[in-house]
Amino acid sequence: MNVWIGGDTVLKPEDRPSDLLPDQPSDCPPDVPDQTVVGKGTSEGHPPDSNEEGGVRRNMIISVVASMVLSVAIYVMWHVLEVSYRHKAGVLVKGEDDVMTRPKKEDIRSTQQTTPPFICTSPSCDQFSSIFQDALSYDEEPCSDFYQFVCKRWSVRLPQEYTVKAAHQHRIVALMRRVLDDLPRSTASSSSEVRAADLYWICMRPESNVEALREFMRVEGVAFDDDEPGEHPLKRIVHLNVRYGFETVFNVGRGQSATAAECRGASWTFVLEKVDVHTYAPFIEDLTSSVHFIRKAFAIVTGMDIPAETLRDIISVDAFVVDLLRRFSWLPMRRVFQLGKGGFFAGNVTVADMFLYLGESLRIQFDVQDCIVVASIHIIRLLEEILEKFSTTQLNRYVQWSVLKRILPIADPSVMEPVELRHFYCYTMLERLLRYALSRRFLEGVVAPGGRATREASTMISVILRSALSFVDDSSWMSTGQKVSIHLELAKNIRVLGYPPSQDLECLKGYSENASSVNALLSWAVAASTIRACQLNKTSPSGPTVYPMSTDVTFSSEAHTLSVPAALLMPPFFGSEGLPGINNGALGSAASSALMGLLEVYLSGGQEYSGTDDSGGGFSSRLECLKKSYQEDMGADLGTLNKMAALGDFVGLLPAYRAFVSTASAQRLKGLEWMTEEQLFFVAFCYQQCENVRDQRSSTATFRCNVPLKHTPQFADAFNCSTGSPMVSPKRCTFWDEDWAQPGQAIVRKSLRSHLDAQTPPHY
């Protein structure tokens, strides 16, 4: 019986080539030296008698048997050690009656390996080896549930609600404490950096001043003592963002008049951008969203218990908003609203209302040609759903609570302890306001701007782009005009890797207030209003805003820009001098999915890529097939799925895979030698989705990993998953044409032997 081990085939002893086994005894006795035996009771030169000859034969037989027993014992010990190692690596040798994935045919990759695999020894490979060894769950079958195989041990180790991306940001923020401690003493620090560090330390060591908090909330109209419906909640949201940078559902930025054709004659153009509602420490979100924290915060400010109805409204709106923000795919499709054209903005709010809210907060008067540009249509959809579901009173209570939970720890330090937790709070508050400008201090030391990692990532993305275009060219269900349009759009693509231009830190130059721990809230409010005034009085650079600490690759079709933040240019998403399989599986698949957002834009805009007969396999039928596959797996939970992101996972996987195949090194990771580079491609793809969620919220991570792979024959081939395995869909959905999708047809995979025989090995 042949047993699958990490893509290789382990043979039974009788099937093994002799060069793979320990020395075995021959069937014949060993040769006897040509000499006369001198035995007891004999004279030299005389042959032994028959009794002596029989004794010699017995000794020879005993010697041969002993040699055979010793050889067998050595082999058994060797085999036990190998099986023990394989078992540690996650391979369980099962009997004939056990469920086991076996290869149905000879694998085209080298399975009977006679030479040790070539190991990648770069620092990034060592990091990925450690990351994957800590994550992989060897008691799970890859062909049964690949997500559990990749993520189970990772999620068990984390008690809080985490994702791989949040955990990565968490590590960076933890290291930033040392950076902020050194900034004031460093001669290389600018005056703005020193001011930023001062604000951070004032937040870290404030004196309690609840009266200042009550006064702030009263002046800004968000005190809980007035339960009347009052102003429209959208007006309060706009004012608090413009004044202090509070991000409830969007962030207001200053845009260029050339941002849209309709705005070229405008004096004022403002852009509403998406927000990141999560801190880089999920346990802070858990803390501030808890009923206990809400009750305590309300009692501190008002001196009373929170009414049950108010508590219920806060919890309901907060849960609804967070769920929407998680589900929405922020498509790079803009909406332009011009004052002179009128109409409705969102729900019952008119375009004129929005300009009025902005004008009152900014103290400016708009002209009919002035514009508001919404960076993503999903901001409008989110606002419409919120305004439709909740009353003005409910939404105003939520806005009041959003402000209170954000600033309460500055006025009362006792609600955010110990010091490690407070660091995450203070750092996130400051970096949100400065648009993550301080993060560059750390990230530039890890990923140098224009350095090796950025160059390697840029080259990889170029290969993926060519791969995607070749798939478009080969698509029989797209018209020639559609192919030309996609080529023209993607050919204009400009990659932004690492660090986009940012001047937000310089906005602190105008802050001259003496920071004081006695009134830390006042110091923060003055700094926040100074920074926001500076940000809104200068025109932002054209193109989408990219934050170095972000973990999302974004593509803007209008700006022809693919943005890759610096935080993604390091493990667990990318490794300089790393394996192409891992880099393409992680960052490469994310970039490919973002590029495929171009198709999503056309789909959402009502332009579906359907051939002359969509029933024959055009865009709509392919999308419907994938939707049904998710429906079968998720059932009633399908509503929680970010459908457009899921489509991007599916559509972008094969272009990234093809790019990997064209650059594969056939190397392996130390400690995971049993896994091929092809298998590591799929592990890296799935690892990005790892998530640890609370019981009350459904996770879509399992399906974001498993469903695309179920419909990918290259995955089944890599792990020798047989037909009927849970990870092989009986009704496979396709997006790209089938010719290349058959393993080994249009692509020749590089075998391990071809690389080992190469005269000049790679530079690892």
Residues 597, 648: contact at Cβ < 8 Å?
A: yes
For the beta carbon of residue 516, count every other beta carbon within 10 angstroms.
13
Nearest CA to 559 among 489, 510, 500?
489
| Distance between CA atoms of residues 257 and 611, nearest Å | 38
C-alpha separations of 370 from 9, 88, 236, 344, 685 in Å: 68, 65, 22, 16, 44
Name residue 726's beta-bridge partners. none
Give the residue-averaged pLDDT of 500-511.
71
For 508-512, 594-598, 754-758, which range has the lowest pLDDT when averaged over its residues? Answer: 754-758
d(CA 321, CA 326): 9
Indicate whether 549 pLDDT > 50.
Answer: yes
What is the token pair recorded at 254? 């200053």
Measure the CA–CA gap between 741 and 420, rounded to whole angstroms: 50
User: What single string gives the DSSP state of each residue in 135-173?
Assistant: H--TTS-TTT-HHHHHHHHHHHT--S-EEHHHHHHHHHH
Is residue 551 scored above 60 in pLDDT?
Answer: yes
CB half-sphere exposure, 748, CA atoms < 13 A: 1
Give SS3 for 495.
strand
At position 591, the amino acid (one-letter code) is A
- How would you label 164-183 residue by residue, b for 16+ Cβ within 10 Å and e otherwise? bbbbbbbebbeebbebbeeb
- Distance between CA atoms of residues 157 and 147, nearest Å: 16
Q: Do 430 and 203 touch, CB atoms closer than 8 A?
A: yes
| Cα–Cα distance, 22 to 101 (Å, whole number) | 28
* Helix, strand, coil percent values for the chain (each to nearest 5): 55, 5, 40
Residue 104 has pLDDT above 50, yes or no: no
107-121, 186-200, 351-365, 732-746: which has the minimum mean pLDDT?
A: 107-121
Res 486: pLDDT: 83
Give the integer Cα–Cα distance in Å for 627 and 83: 42
Are β-strands 119-120 and 561-565 bridged in parallel, bridged antiparallel, or unpaired?
unpaired
State the pLDDT at residue 400. Answer: 94
What angle (nearest 5°) sits at the alpha carbon of residue 465, between those of residues 462 and 470? 130
Confidence of residue 259 (pLDDT cuts 50, 70, 90): low
> For the chain, what is the radius of gyration of the CA atoms?
32
CB 506 within 8 A of CB 689: no
pLDDT tens, residue by residue, 360-417 = 999 999 999 999 998 878 889 889 999 999 999 999 999 999 999 999 999 999 999 8
Compute the distance between CA of residue 189 and CA of residue 183 in angstroms, rounded to an integer.
Answer: 6
Written as six digits, the tokens of 472 are 């478009």
Query: Exposed, middle or buried by CB within 10 Å (0-12, 13-18, 19+), for 199?
Result: buried
Q: Using an 8 Å Cβ cutoff, are 196 and 183 in contact? A: yes
| Residue appearing with tokens 């805009």 | 605
Q: Which residue has the higher pLDDT, 637 or 592?
A: 592
Place of tokens 């027993």: 69
The two structure tokens encoding residue 689: 């989705």
Say which residue the tokens 């969509």 belong to: 614
Token duo for residue 309: 């109805």
Residue indicated by tokens 């060591």? 205
Q: Are strands 668-669 and 119-120 parallel, antiparallel or unpaired?
A: parallel
Q: What is the mean pLDDT of residues 155-170?
A: 80
**Residue-wise DSSP of 504-566:** GGGGGGG------STTHHHHHHHHHHHHHHHHHTSPPPSS----TT----EEETTTTEEEEEG
Q: What is the mean pLDDT of residues 48-67?
A: 56
What pLDDT, on a 0 to 100 scale, did the predictor assign at position 29?
37
CA distance 380 to 351: 12
Phi first, then psi: what are they for 230, rounded to 5°? 65, -145
State residue 494 phi and psi, 5-degree precision.
-115, 125
Class for the domain spanning 164-446+505-540: mainly alpha
- pLDDT single digits (tens) 303-327: 999 999 999 999 999 988 887 877 6
Element holding 335 (H helix, E strand):
strand 335-338
pLDDT of residue 366: 95
pLDDT for residue 517: 65
Residue of 727, 497, 730 whose CA lies nearest to 594: 497
Provide the pLDDT for residue 33.
Answer: 37
- In the chain, what is the greatest distance between 2 CA atoms, to the nearest angstrom? 128
Give Cβ neighbours of residue 524 (< 8 Å, ≥ 6 apart). Answer: 199, 202, 203, 407, 410, 429
Closest CA to 166 of 557, 492, 470, 572: 572
Average pLDDT over residues 112-123: 71
The CA distance from 196 to 429, in Å, is 11
Task: Give the confidence band of 687 by pLDDT, cuts at 50, 70, 90.
Answer: very high
Residue 85 pLDDT greater than 90, yes or no = no
Question: Each residue of 208-228: pLDDT tens digit?
Answer: 999 999 999 999 989 887 656
Domain parsing of the chain, residue ranges: 3-88, 119-158+557-756, 164-446+505-540
> Which residues contact residue 496 at a Cβ distance below 8 angstroms, ignoring those fewer than 6 apart?
543, 546, 561, 562, 563, 564
Whether the pLDDT of residue 644 is over 70: the answer is no
Strand partners, 371: 269, 338
CA distance 216 to 234: 20
Please give the distance of CA 495 from its chain centroid, rounded to a whole number.
19
Q: Does domain 119-158+557-756 have CATH number 3.40.50.150?
A: no
| The predicted structure's pLDDT at residue 67 | 57
